[in-house]
Structure 1
Amino acid sequence: MDRRGQADRLQESLRRHGQEVDPALVPEVIAWWERSGNADATFAELDAALRAQGVGVEGETLARAVWDWLGVSAPRSVALGAGRARLTHLAELHDVALPSRARELGGQFGRERTLVPDLRRARPWLGEAGSARDVLTLIFETEWSGFLALPGEVGPWVYVPSVADLQSLSRSYAALVRVASRAGDAEVLDAAIRLQLRSPEGSLLARLEATDYRDSPPGRHRSRLRPASERVDAPQLMALEEAFWDAARTLAHTRRDAWAARRG
């Protein structure tokens, strides 16, 4: 998504939270924000950018609007309770041994909002492949048999050639969940903002934020109450999420090349 698209989404999120903003100002705010460098963008900088344009929004209201912009309309609204462990346990596992099975699963999960974006994100060479059926069929043709899996109820969909590869990606995702569960609101939000600016497909952190998976109660400075040795910062969270996607891309690329070589 380009800067204009990002600006439009932010404006709409602010409007849904009762903040009317002159449409002409929002692109300037985004441009100012991006000039600070995606690697260093923070919620505080966005707040300052808005105020510099004469738009003052109360902190918690702005935080909710930004989460809305990131795709989370109701942060921490899904109570996990005893199901907290399901965040890192396999929620779906399907053996894909035949092209007909790939098509069948594509139809079965056609309404899964994140399935196609997740599989394409690990395979940028797929381009604008269409439906879930189309994507899974194309993956089968280029990577051959494997497993379609969801390593956690809100986790990323993956297609892997072996159980060992699935276990490796699951461990990588679990590491992100484990560390993020100890982070404070400010650190998670800053990491999600930077990940959104780098990859508009959205972040796994944003998906997690729909649940009450984090240990600390809501509050932008809760992480400061932890001992320094236990604190989690935004770059650490970003590194864990990007490590997962790097591993998923490497695995898919290796499998595609191996199958192409085998086919001659």
Structure 2
Amino acid sequence: MSNMEGKTALVSGVSNNRSISWGIAKAMHQAGANVALSYGPSMEKRVRPLAESIGCDFVEPCDATSDKEIETLFEKLADRFGTIDAVAHGIVGAKREDLSRPFIETSRDGFLLAQELSVYSLVALTRAALPFMPNGGSVVTLSYHGSQKMMPSYNVMGVAKAALESAVRYLASDVGPKGVRVNAISAGPVRTLSAAGVGEFRNLYKQFPKMTPLRRHISIEDVGEAATFLASDAGANISGQVLYVDGGFNTLGMAMASDEDES
């Protein structure tokens, strides 16, 4: 297990006990970090009990479309903890109808919303965190292979994740001289609240183990451990990267044969 003893980490985007951000929060807590949580305005009833379960006493709402709320969040963090060592960005959003119809029919406002929530929020959080990272630190965000390849029904989110991964590289270049690292984790399909809006997700999730060398699903704990590694001193020289936590799925040029076929 990676060591984050004495470090302070903000984990954003927790929605319930199945969210990847919650897996990150748990892993960082287990690694010794002081974990702070931020959540969307409608998620308080779900998030506060989770925070209590790991002894987290910094739980704040934050509207990711408001620069003022983001700045206020980090000011409160600094008042409470002094400095910040890690930020886990798990904010994502799109109109459900833009995930259920062909990409060519994406609405203009839906396209802009997906970019604002899923991409620009990373830029805004990183910028707001920087003054409170005098000793350097780590920013980790969450992507998906739909950024690189067409994935059924992922549509506007695939384009947003492609922009997100590009933003990771540009941010890493900007903040690197200050000792801050920026990386993304591209996880395999995980049953989360946001995944429920992707039309083909259920079928993809069911078939996924057959399409990976390791032949198994990905858990929020898997992603949490990877994020904790990147945020710890063990990841001190890793920046601008997309780390795949997908059982090797992204390496394949075609689907794996099933075990039944091999026998």
Sort the TM-score into its range (normalised by shorter chain).
under 0.3
Normalized against structure 1, the TM-score is what? 0.25
**Richer in helix (by share):** 1
Give the TM-score, by structure 2 length.
Answer: 0.25
